[in-house]
Amino acid sequence: MCQERAGLPLRLPQVALSSTRGPSVGIDPLPGSDFLNSSWNGAYCDNGAHGTGFFRWDSVTQVTGGDPAYLGCATGTDSAAGNPDPSNNDNYTIPAVQFAAVAPPAPPPPVPKQVVGYWTVASDGGVFAFGQAPFYGSMGGRPLNKPIVGIAPTGDGAGYWMDASDGGVFSFGAATFYGSMASTPLHAPVVGMAPTPDGRGYWLVASDGGMFSFGAATFYGSMGGRPLDSAIVGMAATPDGKGYWVVAADGGAFSFGDAAFFGSMGGQVLSGPIVGIARTGDGAGYWMDASDGGVFSFGDAPFYGSTGATTLDEPMVGTSSTPDGGGYWMVAADGGMFTFGDATFYGSMGGQPLDDPMVGMATYAP
């Protein structure tokens, strides 16, 4: 049985099948390998006798690629009583197969970011910040060729983009401008936007399903030029940015790249048209929200509630989900904010005068 020093974890060695001999300086359990790159870890395997018996080593060899991945015990005699330190040039017998590979501990799962605020945006480009969300600027009071239709945050929350129906893109804070469709004739208006996870690009989607990619955003396909029963109204990107979903007003969902199809409301009767889509944290599901506040969940997206049975002063216009997938927000055209699951309410423009209606929202999770 081993005794441990310095709080080292105990790992029992495997049974020895053969042995070889080597210098005590730099003991290595692998015959024929480099004997110079091991280090004694201060653990005994002789119940404290310290003269004859076992001690353990941590092997840091070329075989392990520099990681201390092997543990074992060696037999021998130490001339310095009470100090079985391999640095004093005593000899030990090394069990050739008396070791076990110790896998490095698995890295802890990433901790989902915490939403500590959000922004809402109006069709005139006005931006309203709530919670800890910083205000980086807006297009409110400035001339626009076409109305704003959405807002999207950078990955670190240090900025945001707004997109207009003519494909114009406006960047604020640390959000970089990567291009737009403002100077290009469009067959149909732009209705939605999604950023890449690293914030180095973005996609714009038009109501006819056309997809436009900028910066590091990759084009994975579109519904442009294909028949649609209803107009596209929004999109969401997968967690790794290697795919995306687009959703139509009738609840039809279309997946591209590594985005999986988990179901849709296409062909089903809806009380109000779908207005947006938001994915779960792992990308294995999504929610759709309708203008009447109805919520439809697919894949691993849980249903946390809706306002489908509640009379609304104004229709819903957008949605966003928490990073851990434990909740979601919905925003109405009058600025009213509705929270479900673990989504926190940080305030709203509901009941306050607006120059123009709200058209979307984005969460702040630095």
pTM metric for this prediction: 0.72
The H-assigned helical ranges of 307-348 are none
Domain 117-364 matching CATH 1.20.120.160: the answer reads no
The DSSP string of 100-149 is: EE-PPPPPPPPPPP---EEEEEETTS-EEEEETPPP----TTS--SS-EE
CATH 2.130.10.10 segments of the chain: 117-364
CA–CA gap between residue 293 and residue 276 (Å, rounded): 11
Strand, helix or coil at 86? helix
pLDDT of residue 108: 82
pLDDT at 106: 77
- State pLDDT tens for residues 157-212: 999 999 999 999 999 999 999 999 999 999 999 999 999 999 999 999 999 999 99
Q: What are the structure tokens assigned to 175, written together? A: 């959000």
Which pair of structure tokens corresponds to residue 105?
């501990």
How far apart (Å, rounded) are the C-alpha atoms in residues 22 and 5?
25
Q: Is the pLDDT of residue 59 over 90?
A: no
The answer to whether the beta carbons of residues 131 and 361 sit under 8 Å apart is no
Asked whether 92 and 51 are in contact (CB, 8 A), the reply is no
Classify the C-alpha dihedral 122-128-134-140 as positive or negative. Answer: positive
Least reliable range by pLDDT among 23-27, 68-72, 292-296: 23-27
So what's the pLDDT on residue 19? 29
**C-alpha radius of gyration, the chain, whole number:** 30
- Identity of the amino acid at 194: A
Q: What share of the chain is helix, strand, coil (3-state, %, to 5)?
A: 0, 40, 60
